[in-house]
Amino acid sequence: MIEYRNVGMAYEDKVILDGINLTIADGELFVLVGPSGSGKTTLLRMINRLTEPTAGDVYIDGRRVKDQDLRHLRLNMGYVPQTSSLFPNLTVGDNVTIQLEEAGVKRRERRERASFLLDQVGLKGDEYLDRRPSELSGGQQQRVAIARALAAQPKLILMDESFSALDPVLRRQQQELLLALHQQNQDTVVFVTHDMQEALRLGDRIGVIKDGCLLQVGSPEEIIQHPANFFVADFFKSARPRLGTMAQLLASAAVSRIQAGSLPAVAKVDELVRLPDEAGLIKFAYQGAGYQITATDLLRYLGELED
């Protein structure tokens, strides 16, 4: 379990994070989402102590990270930084298994493991193992960094905008890989993104951060149905260009026709997120006809839309 207790961060007199209280449970895929400069990376890096808070403390399993042996702390978690962090003088294979080398795993076994992990992130092991990072594109380097974070099968993985450099198809594949591995390994993942749609797709729970304050923490359903304030609602709406049209939604199997009666009329998909009743059912009128969809189905539909 990861706990932030009254965590704050200031650089000189500039406050970056303020009064952060947050608990992330074991086995959770927790997504931290917020605009650029809101403090996501700073908050994430407090877990592996790349950043030390200027107020409060971060605890893992009840122990302050500050009091833990730094090497041990970092060896027990995977970390995919926001910007490429591969060692330029090491091959791709050696980059992937650097933690295993420290743990004393033999070279042959390391190569096998590296090859397997590279395959998993969509890079052919045989082809990439002996290349240097400088011979890879940005997105390929990012995938090597993901493979490296998975190499030691850590129970905790920190990922900072890990899929942002990938094209939509690859991004989707990596999201699915992450979800599958997470299900299989029951590990804890803290995933940072500025993309609300990605947050909705991945998160068991989502924390929305703005200007160094956590505005809301909740399940995707809670955040969509009961945005804590205007910013959260608006931030979700900013994903609207990718929410698709009413015509597309109505063509999906999730929607059924009902009597029009006196249903609230809507013009756009994002208006639906305010309408669920207590049973999670959304009933609405569009161009004179009545429809219904469950909030869960709407969420699933939105999550499955292509970028």
Minimum CB–partner distance for residue 198 and Mg ion (Å) = 14
Nearer to ligand ATP, 42 or 141 (CB): 42
Nearer to ligand ATP, 42 or 95 (CB): 42
Using alpha carbons, select from 144, 138, 134 the residue that is nearest to residue 166. 138
Residue 263 carries which DSSP code? P
142 near Mg ion, judged by CB under 5 A: no
Minimum CB–partner distance for residue 28 and ligand ATP (Å) = 20
Residue 307 CB contacts under 8 Å (≥ 6 apart), including other chains: 168, 171, 172, 197, 242
197 near Mg ion, judged by CB under 5 A: no
Minimum CB–partner distance for residue 300 and ligand ATP (Å) = 27
Nearer to Mg ion, 37 or 264 (CB): 37
Sheet holding 256-258, edge to edge: 256-258, 289-294, 281-286
Residue 24 CB contacts under 8 Å (≥ 6 apart), including other chains: 1, 2, 3, 30, 188, 190
Using alpha carbons, select from 100, 73, 97, 95 the residue that is nearest to residue 84. 95
Q: Which does 194 bind (CB under 5 to 8 A by kind): Mg ion, ligand ATP, none?
A: ligand ATP
Could you tell me if 38 and 206 are in contact, meaning their C-beta atoms sit under 8 angstroms apart?
A: no
38 near Mg ion, judged by CB under 5 A: no
Question: What residue is closest to Mg ion based on CB?
Answer: 41
Minimum CB–partner distance for residue 97 and ligand ATP (Å) = 28
Minimum CB–partner distance for residue 203 and ligand ATP (Å) = 16
Residues from 76 through 135 that contact Mg ion (CB under 5 A): 82
Minimum CB–partner distance for residue 81 and Mg ion (Å) = 9
Tokens of residue 266, six digits: 């809507």
- Binding residues (CB under 6 A) for ligand ATP: these are 11, 16, 34, 36-42, 82, 194
Nearer to ligand ATP, 40 or 283 (CB): 40
Rounded CA-CA distance 144/148 in Å is 6
Nearer to Mg ion, 15 or 250 (CB): 15
Using alpha carbons, select from 20, 294, 40 the residue that is nearest to residue 159. 40
Position among 38, 41, 97, 193 found at the interface with Mg ion (CB under 5 A): 41
CA dihedral 171, 177, 182, 188 (to 10 degrees): -40
Binding site residues, Mg ion, CB under 5 A: 41, 82
